[in-house]
Structure 1
Amino acid sequence: MKRYLVLTLRKPAFDPAMIEPHYAHLDRLRAQGRLELAGPFSDRSGGAYLLLAGSLDDAIAAAHADPLHESGSSEVIVHEWDAK
Structure 2
Amino acid sequence: MTDIGHLEDTDIDLAIDEGEAGERRATELANRLRMVAAEDPLLAQDLVEGLIVALDRAMGGTIREHLEGPALGVADKVLADPEQAR
The two structures have a TM-score, normalised by structure 1, of 0.29
Between Structure 1 and Structure 2, which shows a larger proportion of strand residues? 1
Larger radius of gyration: 2
| Larger proportion of helix | 2
TM-score (norm 2): 0.28
